[in-house]
């Protein structure tokens, strides 16, 4: 019943992110897919992760920290449940934090990825809900 409720909320309140995630899912349809908790986990060829509503995209299992990244991305799905359409702002912050050269230099200087509040929040939610460890560095 929890899984049905989770999916229903992701497809309604969190529908914008889930719709975008569905397009990413289709674009990565040749990749391996599996259920992780209540979301669809696509093992893609990138070293980082992405969360879009009901869909998470994580590195293959042979990539270091792939399980920790999966829990972190699952935390973003919980953010989507809470924030719904406002998740767009979290996504914008996350994309800038993850890709802007200024912040990349900060991480090279030892600033952890989760120094950004939306990323720390995702790791915290992922650990809390899954009971597993998330990535913090």
Residue 101 lies in a domain: yes
Residue 114 lies in a domain: yes
CB atoms within 10 A of CB 35: 9
Alpha-carbon span 92 to 87, nearest angstrom: 9
The pLDDT-based confidence of 1 (bands split at 50, 70, 90) is: confident
Alpha helices in the chain (DSSP H): 2-11, 15-27, 66-83, 87-99, 101-108, 117-130
- pTM, entire model: 0.94
pLDDT in tens, 79-121: 999 999 999 999 999 999 999 999 989 989 999 999 999 999 9
Residue 49 lies in a domain: yes
Residue 39 lies in a domain: yes
Residue 33 lies in a domain: yes
Alpha-carbon span 21 to 19, nearest angstrom: 5
Range of the domain at 105: 2-130
Question: Residues 6 or more apart from 16 whose CB is under 8 A from it?
Answer: 53, 84, 85, 87, 88
β-sheet bridge partners, residue 51: 56
Across all residues in the chain, what is the average pLDDT? 95
Residue 32 lies in a domain: yes
Nearest to 73 by CA among 106, 99, 43: 43
Report the domain count for the chain: 1
């Amino acid at each position: 019943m929890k899984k049905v409720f989770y999916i229903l909320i992701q497809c309604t309140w969190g529908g914008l992110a889930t719709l975008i995630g569905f397009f990413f899912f289709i674009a990565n349809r040749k990749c391996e897919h599996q259920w992780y908790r209540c979301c669809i986990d696509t093992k893609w060829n990138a070293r980082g992760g992405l969360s879009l509503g009901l869909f998470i995209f994580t590195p293959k299992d042979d990539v270091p920290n792939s399980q920790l990244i999966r829990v972190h991305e699952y935390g973003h799905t919980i953010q989507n449940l809470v924030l719904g359409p406002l998740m767009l702002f979290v996504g914008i912050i996350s994309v800038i934090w993850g890709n802007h050269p200024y912040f990349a230099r900060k991480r090279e200087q030892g600033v952890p990825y989760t120094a950004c509040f939306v990323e720390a929040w995702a790791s915290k939610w992922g650990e809390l809900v899954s009971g597993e460890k998330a990535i913090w560095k």
